[in-house]
Every structure is written in structure tokens, then in C-alpha cells.
């Protein structure tokens, strides 16, 4: 499991086409929005947007291969755990953007 800490509106990028961010955080419940393209399964490549309300320890699935777990809530930060196939990178959006810029610069 890959664990990432995020505040409200700080995004996590899974692969190249999937973004996830907490939109509301309180001491018991976190609302998470997911948008992008489905990875795997019969809906592979389909564009979608979904919202989930989670309490500590809850998990939701994004298609057949990605599981997101709310590991910890420490307002204003949450820790999210990601179980993904090894070939899919999981990065903070800031890190993914920096990698993309470096790749463009290097050619």
C-alpha cells in the first residue's frame, strides 16, 4: 500500500489519467472526489467523476484494480492508502507535474 498525506483540494495522480482529492475533512468523515478515466474492467477508458464519503478504515474501489483506503484523519490532513498494480505510479499532483515538465524539457 502506498500512503499519501493530503489537505483539501490537494490532488493525487494515479497513472496518467486519474485524479483524486479530499474536498471536505472533519474529525470523523472525509469527502473524496475522483475523476478521470477508468482503469481496467469492462468500463476501461470511460471518463467518470465520483464522490465518496469515508470514515477511518473505509475503502472504496476505482474499477477492478485500484483500492483507496482512508488510513488516518488529522484535521486538516488525511492519509490515504492506495493499493494499485505495480505498473501504475501514484504521485502527488505537484510531483507528477514536475516529472512531466522535466520529461518535456529533456526531450
30 burial type by CB count under 10 A (0-12 exposed, 13-18 middle, 19+ buried): buried
Model confidence band, residue 107 (pLDDT cutoffs 50, 70, 90) = low
**3-state secondary structure at position 10:** coil
Q: What distance in Å separates the CA atoms of residue 44 and residue 79, rounded to the nearest whole number?
A: 27
What global pTM score does this model have? Answer: 0.87
Cell numbers describing residue 78: 488525511
Q: Where are the domains of the chain?
A: 2-106
Residue pair 38/50 in contact by the 8 Å Cβ criterion: no
| CATH node for 2-106 | 2.60.98
Is the pLDDT reported for residue 56 higher than 90?
yes
Report whether 12 contacts 90 (CB < 8 A): yes
Tell me phi and psi for residue 27, to 5 degrees: -65, -20
Q: Is-cis flag, bond preceding 65, omega within 30?
A: no
Q: For 16-48, how does the pLDDT look when each residue is reduced to its tens digit (9 = 90+)?
A: 889 999 999 999 999 999 999 998 889 899 999
| % pLDDT > 70, the chain | 99
Amino acid at each position: 500500500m502506498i500512503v499519501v498525506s493530503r489537505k483539501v483540494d490537494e490532488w493525487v495522480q494515479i497513472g496518467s489519467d486519474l485524479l483524486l482529492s479530499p474536498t471536505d475533512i472533519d474529525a470523523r468523515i472525509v469527502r473524496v472526489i475522483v475523476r478521470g478515466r477508468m482503469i481496467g474492467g469492462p468500463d476501461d477508458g470511460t471518463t467518470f467523476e465520483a464522490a465518496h464519503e469515508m470514515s477511518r478504515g473505509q475503502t472504496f474501489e476505482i474499477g477492478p484494480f485500484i483500492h483507496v483506503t482512508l488510513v488516518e484523519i488529522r484535521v486538516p490532513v488525511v492519509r490515504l492508502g492506495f493499493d494499485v498494480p505495480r505498473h501504475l505510479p501514484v504521485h502527488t499532483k505537484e510531483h507528477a507535474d514536475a516529472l512531466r515538465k522535466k520529461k518535456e524539457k529533456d526531450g
